[in-house]
Structure 1
Amino acid sequence: MGYFQFHKSPLFLKIIFIISIAIIFFIGGVTFKHITVLKKSSDFVSKSHGVNIELERLISFIKDAETGQRGYLLTKDEDFLKPYLESKNAVKKSFNKVSKLTENSRAQQANLKKLLFFINKKQNYLSKSIYLTEDKNYNKNELAKNLIIGRKTMDSIRSQIEEMMITEKLLLNYRQQEYISTMNYTPLLIYLTLIVTLLLITIAFIKMNRDLVLLKKTINTLTVANEANNLAEIVGGFGSWQYNLDKQTFTFSDNEYRLLGCEPQSFTASGESFYQFVHPDDVDYVRENSINIQSEVNLPPFTYRIIRKDGEIRYFRALGRVVNVSSGERTYIGTTSDVTAEVEAKQMIELRNRDLESSNKELMAFNYIASHDLQEPLRKIETFLSRLVTKDYSNLSQSGQQYVSSIQSSAKRMRVLIDDLLQFSRTNKGEKIFEKTDLNIVLSNVLQELAPTIEDKKALITSDVLPTFDAIPFQIQQLFTNLISNSLKYSKENSAVEIKITATTCTAENEENIPDTIIGSNLYYKIVFQDNGIGFDQEYATKIFILFNRLHNKNEFSGTGIGLAICKKIVENHRGFIIANAIVNEGARFTVYFPVLS
């Protein structure tokens, strides 16, 4: 009973498997080794005998040629020339056979070269002797000389053939010794091979047993992972599908059915069954993208509409890629996500963006038109005020004159405000045509434009050599004008104005003022405007660039709060940055960074 149980156990089958493999390896190894050795030995012996036979035939053909030559020389009977003439082809064929048989022996190939030299020499002198006797008055001494050389050459041929036979005999002895040596160590090699084989089979069995245990654990893990994936699909609102490219079959996950409003596995998974849920207007689009599954490795994401079983329209997004499973089959795996909320949010954003763009265009138009339309009544006010001051100012009472002065002052501020608004509008909507701009020329034009104010303030303005780069010339001139005017305006009383302009190059990584989002290797032109004016509190360093923002009362300093906002916009139009630093009563520093474009 115990034996029967052992016989039926998997252990018994494993032992039989190991023994069978060991026996097959042993028998196969021994048989293969002996057959290989015997075959080589047989080939060696056969070739050696073949070489000896052909060498004997070769010398026999040469002897026949020599005998035929002698018979012809003695009798002048041309029948004796027949073996002589036939020997040339026979010698050639025999020599080629020997060469073929000894092609793997360098020594014999070297001997054959010498033998060929002697054979050619022998045949030449045989032919030469026959040629001499054709002449009735031939020189007998020369003929005798040729015959002697021919006999010596024949001796050399015999000697060379004997040397080749001896060499072949040595090779045969060497090969026989090699065969005996091989047969001596073959059993040891067989047993070593057997031991290694058994060891490898044992290792393979151990690994197979471990893999089996690991496989069980993996199956358990995959079962848990599959359930977790099903739960993740439910929570994440997506489904998965597989398409076997070889079998052309689909597989849907449970949640793929739920996304369609159906019970899991309620219908057979296929392309046609899925198309029934696709919105009629999107069916052709989905089919066109699905064709790519047959030829592309990756399925790019695309969005389409479906009509659920309950009639609700939802937006789906599909994507996938090809994977090669261990069985060799190519399978497309993909996911289907319900992106209805995302699409609706995007549509809402696009609608709001269009509304915002429309509002922005209306605002720009309003700003431009209002600024222009305001100039006409302002021009009339200024005209009538000018006439009133010219003709009737002295007739007005003191309070009336004050009123007129206040109206003139207000009209002047309105004029400046309108001009600044126009300038800001132009900066925002003007065409951004870049051209090579020499900042030194720009600075020179600005200084000429501001010459009266500079002279009135007794200002000293110094500058480094400024760079030349692609820019919008009129905007750069406006930038320089505003910054220098700002320094002249906010100067100290009873103190000469000093404005220093410096220019260097820098990289973003070495400048803390440039945002971290800028790549560190980018080069920038750094231009600094430093003055010795009244300065300002550093906490207002960013606020001063905001439109209509003023740090001082209009009665203290004139201005509209637009100039620095224009500067910021101009620098941004050039993809640069502007930074303000200041100390109260010590001065202000405006640093402008322009990118160095390659």
Structure 2
Amino acid sequence: MPTPSSRYLRTAFVAGLFVILCIGGYTYQHISELSKASEVVKDNYSLRSELELVISNLKDAEIGHRGFLLTHDSLFLTPYEESLQKISNNLEKLDTLIVPNSEQVDKLKDLNSDIQKRFENFSKSFARVNDSEVLTKDLLYLLHEGEIQMDTIRSDISEMLDLEQRLLVQNQEISQGKIGLTPLLFYGLLIVTLVILLLAYIKMTTDLKALKESNTELEIFEKLTKQSEIVSNTSTWVWYIEEDEFEFSDNLYRLLGEEPQSFEPTLINFYKFVHEEDLTNLGHRVNLMMKEGELPFTSFRVVHKDGTIKHLKAYSKLMDETDGEKKIFGVTVDATNEVENYRIIEQRNQELERTNKELSAFNYVASHDLQEPLRKIQTFMSRLEAKEKDRISESGQIYIQRMKSASARMRMLIEDLLQYSRTNTSEKEYLKTNMNLLLEHAKTELIDSIEEKRAKIICDDLPTMEVISFQIQQLFINIISNSLKYSKEDVPPIIEITHEEVLSRNVKQIQNSLYKYHHKITFKDNGIGFEQPYAEKIFLLFNRLHGKSEYSGTGIGLAICKKIVENHKGVIIAEGEPNKGATFIIYLPFLK
């Protein structure tokens, strides 16, 4: 597609050429007119000469006529007859010289008629002449009439000369006017041409400067591209389809373990470096590229001369035919580190899988093998207390109570650990669930504690969401249980549960989320609260803000809550104030 600069230069060239053609055309026209004017002057001069010859020849005829009348010598008739022939020739030539002007043509007719009358007069006078007679009265009359006719002829010629002079002056005035305008017009056209050429020159100079700057930028870009290829272990290549020729970047040679441009860039030479096990597949892909104009991501190995094996990955696509030439542009990347990292990830995944199996085995042991002897200990402790209570000393009974308390705490810890492990390893199946039903199930699980504490739970209507049902129910149980546990003495707990939809960018903790909207579920109680600096610590595993003697628990409940929220790609935040209560805010993402 032509650029504005090239269009401008083309326009300037066409305009300049047009002006030059105009100058040439006008010059030709002006020269033609000058030539015509010269012809007019020449014809005018010839016409004046012929008219003067007519008078001269008439005079010669008169001399011959008078000589004959006086001498009766036929010798005087010779100049008369010659003059008659000359006058005839003069009239014919005058007829060709006169321009198509009706007035001049009419005058020529009058002149021709008067000359004929004059010669008729000559003929009549010749008829009256006798050798023995003197001039008669009739002859004298004819001579007198002849003089009058000569005056008439002179008058006719004078009028024709005057008219021709006027025509000559008019033509000269017209020519002078055109000649006067010609330099001005030529000068104006010349100025316009110079301005166009000057503008074109300025534009060409500007474009040349911009081209130099672009070339400098391209050189810098080329250097940066070469450096970036080296740093990123990438390379480029071009296949010119019509010429069936390849062009390799310097770094493609380096990826093959060779010096830049050390061999001719052809497929045959490139295939020499490809691993023999990958050669067939790569050749098949390249053949498809030549047919379809595109090479999808293709991985293969190359072998350096020193035996080093590198993993490469190539991709290519047919470029736009902006210059009318078909070519495929390709990129080849060193994927050795990627392959090695993938192998490391595979190994770690295998190790993680083994760890998960071991964790599953631990869960089984914790849920069966560890709890079984614990149950037996608790059973034997109960029997010992029931049957031997009277024979055990007071200090022994205290020991038994401590043993029972420790075993109960041990059982609770095992169950919480199992719950936390289940949160980590269970299958994550998201289903559309009515959150109000999960909340009711959680309240049913805690009905005894709710009634014992005389707690009041106030809840907004919760939406239907895609969640892992049993985890969200456990989340509700743990948060409500936490509020019941850390309530004030002799003050019935009040737990308020609210819901709203929020725009993610308006909330600091989730403003960088990939989701535009979030559900905000808030649990607020009137319990003992906590110091705000501890807001992050309460979600850590086995972390407790209060002693075992003050409040029961293992320090795992809120850690389970955080894990459940993270499983749902959400965020949980704790806010507290001593003796005023605690607030837990949960943000769960959704698409609106």
**TM-score interval, smaller chain:** 0.5 to 0.7
After superposition, the Cα gap between the structure-2 partners of 1:360 and 1:194, relative to the gap in structure 1 and judged at 3 Å, is farther
Equivalent in 495, 498, 504 of residue 508 of structure 1: 504
In 2, Cα distance between equivalents of 1:554 and 1:583: 21
1:200-252 per-residue CA deviation (whole Å, 9 max, x = no partner) reads: 56655664566566656766665666566555555554444332122011123
- Amino acid of the residue matched to residue 533 of structure 1? G
- Amino acid of the residue matched to residue 548 of structure 2? K
In 2, Cα distance between equivalents of 1:464 and 1:535: 23
Deviation at 1:393, TM superposition (A): 1.7
1:131-154 per-residue CA deviation (whole Å, 9 max, x = no partner) reads: xxxxxxxxxxxxxxxxxxxxxxxx
Which residue is 2:346 aligned to? 350
After superposition, the Cα gap between the structure-2 partners of 1:385 and 1:245, relative to the gap in structure 1 and judged at 3 Å, is same
In 1, Cα distance between equivalents of 2:336 and 2:388: 75
Which residue is 1:577 aligned to? 571
Deviation at 1:446, TM superposition (A): 3.5
The correspondence of residues 326-405 of structure 1 with structure 2, limited to 5 A, is 327-405=323-401
Matched, 1:538 2:532: yes
Which residue is 2:415 aligned to? 419
Which residue is 1:168 aligned to? none
Give unpaired runs (5+ residues) of structure 2. Answer: 1-12, 27-181
Which residue is 1:317 aligned to? 313
In 2, Cα distance between equivalents of 1:536 and 1:478: 23
After superposition, the Cα gap between the structure-2 partners of 1:520 and 1:280, relative to the gap in structure 1 and judged at 3 Å, is closer
Which residue is 1:586 aligned to? 580
- Between Structure 1 and Structure 2, whose CA radius of gyration is higher? 2
- Amino acid of the residue matched to residue 469 of structure 1? M
After superposition, the Cα gap between the structure-2 partners of 1:573 and 1:339, relative to the gap in structure 1 and judged at 3 Å, is closer
Tell me, what secondary structure is at the counterpart of 1:485?
Answer: helix
After superposition, the Cα gap between the structure-2 partners of 1:427 and 1:223, relative to the gap in structure 1 and judged at 3 Å, is closer
In 2, Cα distance between equivalents of 1:284 and 1:273: 15
In 2, Cα distance between equivalents of 1:217 and 1:255: 26
In 2, Cα distance between equivalents of 1:226 and 1:375: 71
**Contact 1:25 1:194 (C-alpha < 8 Å) held by counterparts:** no
The correspondence of residues 429-444 of structure 1 with structure 2, limited to 5 A, is 429-444=425-440
Deviation at 1:484, TM superposition (A): 1.5
In 2, Cα distance between equivalents of 1:382 and 1:489: 25
Tell me, what secondary structure is at the counterpart of 1:527?
Answer: strand
After superposition, the Cα gap between the structure-2 partners of 1:388 and 1:311, relative to the gap in structure 1 and judged at 3 Å, is same
After superposition, the Cα gap between the structure-2 partners of 1:330 and 1:536, relative to the gap in structure 1 and judged at 3 Å, is same
Matched, 1:452 2:448: yes
**Contact 1:446 1:480 (C-alpha < 8 Å) held by counterparts:** yes
Which residue is 1:559 aligned to? 553
1:317-356 per-residue CA deviation (whole Å, 9 max, x = no partner) reads: 3344444687532333434343433432332233223322
After superposition, the Cα gap between the structure-2 partners of 1:25 and 1:301, relative to the gap in structure 1 and judged at 3 Å, is farther
In 2, Cα distance between equivalents of 1:501 and 1:447: 13
In 2, Cα distance between equivalents of 1:20 and 1:455: 103
In 2, Cα distance between equivalents of 1:18 and 1:399: 120
In 2, Cα distance between equivalents of 1:222 and 1:429: 56
After superposition, the Cα gap between the structure-2 partners of 1:255 and 1:442, relative to the gap in structure 1 and judged at 3 Å, is closer
After superposition, the Cα gap between the structure-2 partners of 1:228 and 1:550, relative to the gap in structure 1 and judged at 3 Å, is closer
- Amino acid of the residue matched to residue 394 of structure 2? Q
- Amino acid of the residue matched to residue 501 of structure 1? I
Matched, 1:517 2:517: no
Tell me, what secondary structure is at the counterpart of 2:585?
Answer: strand
Deviation at 1:276, TM superposition (A): 0.7
In 2, Cα distance between equivalents of 1:566 and 1:442: 17
Tell me, what secondary structure is at the counterpart of 1:533?
Answer: coil
In 2, Cα distance between equivalents of 1:483 and 1:299: 56
Equivalent in 476, 490, 506 of residue 494 of structure 1: 490
- Amino acid of the residue matched to residue 395 of structure 1? R
In 1, Cα distance between equivalents of 2:572 and 2:445: 23
**Contact 2:19 2:189 (C-alpha < 8 Å) held by counterparts:** no
**Contact 1:22 1:197 (C-alpha < 8 Å) held by counterparts:** no
Tell me, what secondary structure is at the counterpart of 2:510?
Answer: coil
Which residue is 2:274 aligned to? 278
Aligned length: 426
Tell me, what secondary structure is at the counterpart of 1:405?
Answer: helix
Matched, 1:547 2:524: no
In 2, Cα distance between equivalents of 1:327 and 1:436: 57
**Contact 1:442 1:476 (C-alpha < 8 Å) held by counterparts:** yes
Matched, 1:410 2:406: yes
In 1, Cα distance between equivalents of 2:291 and 2:216: 35
Tell me, what secondary structure is at the counterpart of 2:528?
Answer: coil
- Amino acid of the residue matched to residue 558 of structure 2? L
1:284-324 per-residue CA deviation (whole Å, 9 max, x = no partner) reads: 33223333543566655443210112221112233444446
Q: TM-score, normalised on structure 1? A: 0.62
1:43-64 per-residue CA deviation (whole Å, 9 max, x = no partner) reads: xxxxxxxxxxxxxxxxxxxxxx
Deviation at 1:363, TM superposition (A): 1.9
After superposition, the Cα gap between the structure-2 partners of 1:378 and 1:597, relative to the gap in structure 1 and judged at 3 Å, is farther
In 1, Cα distance between equivalents of 2:479 and 2:550: 19
Which residue is 2:521 aligned to? 527
Which residue is 1:35 aligned to? none
After superposition, the Cα gap between the structure-2 partners of 1:454 and 1:564, relative to the gap in structure 1 and judged at 3 Å, is same
Which residue is 2:262 aligned to? 266
**Contact 1:316 1:338 (C-alpha < 8 Å) held by counterparts:** yes
In 2, Cα distance between equivalents of 1:474 and 1:569: 13
In 1, Cα distance between equivalents of 2:225 and 2:442: 70
In 1, Cα distance between equivalents of 2:458 and 2:187: 99
- Amino acid of the residue matched to residue 237 of structure 2? W
In 2, Cα distance between equivalents of 1:539 and 1:303: 53
- Amino acid of the residue matched to residue 430 of structure 1? S
- Amino acid of the residue matched to residue 408 of structure 2? K
**Percent of residue pairs bearing the same amino acid type:** 49
Equivalent in 444, 460, 464 of residue 464 of structure 1: 460
In 2, Cα distance between equivalents of 1:19 and 1:539: 82
In 1, Cα distance between equivalents of 2:413 and 2:278: 56
Deviation at 1:374, TM superposition (A): 1.3
1:424-464 per-residue CA deviation (whole Å, 9 max, x = no partner) reads: 23333334444454444443444344333223223233333
**Contact 1:239 1:337 (C-alpha < 8 Å) held by counterparts:** yes
Q: 224-233 vs 362-371, which deviates more?
A: 224-233
The correspondence of residues 196-345 of structure 1 with structure 2, limited to 5 A, is 203-204=199-200, 207-208=203-204, 226=222, 230=226, 233-234=229-230, 237-294=233-290, 299-323=295-319, 327-345=323-341
After superposition, the Cα gap between the structure-2 partners of 1:196 and 1:316, relative to the gap in structure 1 and judged at 3 Å, is farther
After superposition, the Cα gap between the structure-2 partners of 1:223 and 1:418, relative to the gap in structure 1 and judged at 3 Å, is closer
Which residue is 2:92 aligned to? none
RMSD of equivalent CA atoms: 3.9
After superposition, the Cα gap between the structure-2 partners of 1:293 and 1:497, relative to the gap in structure 1 and judged at 3 Å, is same
- Amino acid of the residue matched to residue 517 of structure 1? N
After superposition, the Cα gap between the structure-2 partners of 1:292 and 1:428, relative to the gap in structure 1 and judged at 3 Å, is same
The correspondence of residues 138-177 of structure 1 with structure 2, limited to 5 A, is none
After superposition, the Cα gap between the structure-2 partners of 1:521 and 1:434, relative to the gap in structure 1 and judged at 3 Å, is closer
Tell me, what secondary structure is at the counterpart of 1:311?
Answer: coil
After superposition, the Cα gap between the structure-2 partners of 1:196 and 1:359, relative to the gap in structure 1 and judged at 3 Å, is farther
In 2, Cα distance between equivalents of 1:402 and 1:445: 39
**Contact 1:487 1:499 (C-alpha < 8 Å) held by counterparts:** yes
In 2, Cα distance between equivalents of 1:258 and 1:565: 53
- Amino acid of the residue matched to residue 502 of structure 1? T
After superposition, the Cα gap between the structure-2 partners of 1:407 and 1:252, relative to the gap in structure 1 and judged at 3 Å, is same
Q: 287-296 vs 402-411, which deviates more?
A: 287-296
In 1, Cα distance between equivalents of 2:186 and 2:448: 112
- Amino acid of the residue matched to residue 256 of structure 2? L
